[in-house]
Amino acid sequence: MKTKKQQPIAIFDIDGTIFRSSLLIELTKSLVSFGIFPKLVHTEIQRTEQRWLDRKGSYEEYLNQVIKVFSKRLKGVSVNDVHRISALVIQEEKNRVYTYTRDLLSRLRKTHRLVAISGSPEVIVQEFQKAWKFDDVFGTIYESHAGVYTGNVTFVASHDKSSLLKEYCASNGLRLTRSIGVGDTETDIPFLELVSRPVAFNPNRKFLHAARQKGWAVVVERKDVVYTI
């Protein structure tokens, strides 16, 4: 049997690719529910959420608003509280995943080193890692001091996934030969260009156009049907 260092790599985005929502959004809403964040947070994100649900605004606009509100409200919050709520969210939501990527993970776990790169907070990404047995994960790191968050962001894993993947391979003596990558938006294109087998899963319009031009596999899951286009 090959060691993990000898195995090819499988790289996944998480939100919208494996998890059928956003870990950040679910964490934010739960922090409100448990009284860690004020109820005002609902009001702060409601307009952009409703615009997205009504197809008058984009999901990116909604997500960016949640990121902005989360970063603002995190300042002064206990690190232990966020860890506790993150664990509860994953305990409740860990199976809220797409069947295609769930089954793909199950197959690849026997032959590949599993890595996930997400823009969601590292604290909840690590809980997701435990639930789905990834070898390594990367998420957004929020600075803390004396057990509380400062409100500053020290690292955003999703800003340059290709450079992060290259650095990860270099530091671990890994190659991308026979590697596979799965993502759902155009922000995943740079790291997918590095792998041997890129897959565009449930792509948005811009990503679908790019994937078709590049000749990549495009997989769509809707309700209980998975198909390639």
pLDDT category of residue 1 using cuts at 50, 70 and 90: very low
pLDDT category of residue 7 using cuts at 50, 70 and 90: confident
**pLDDT over 70 percentage in the chain:** 98
| Tens-place pLDDT, residues 96-149 | 999 999 999 999 999 999 999 999 999 999 999 999 999 999 999 999 999 999
With a cut of 70, say whether residue 93 has pLDDT above it. yes
d(CA 74, CA 68): 10
Locate the domains of the chain by residue range. Answer: 9-228
| Contact (CB, 8 A) for 36 and 84 | no
With a cut of 70, say whether residue 5 has pLDDT above it. no
| Tens-place pLDDT, residues 177-223 | 999 999 999 999 999 999 999 999 999 999 999 999 999 999 999 99
**pLDDT over 90 percentage in the chain:** 94
Q: Are strands 197-201 and 217-222 parallel, antiparallel or unpaired?
A: parallel
| Tens-place pLDDT, residues 69-86 | 999 999 999 999 999 999
d(CA 221, CA 202): 7
| Tens-place pLDDT, residues 152-169 | 999 999 999 999 999 999
pLDDT of residue 70: 98
CATH topology (fold) of 9-228: Rossmann fold (3.40.50)
H-helix or E-strand spanning residue 36: none
pLDDT of residue 3: 59
CA-CA distances (angstroms) from residue 28 to 44, 45, 80, 136, 170?
12, 10, 15, 24, 34
Average pLDDT, the chain: 96
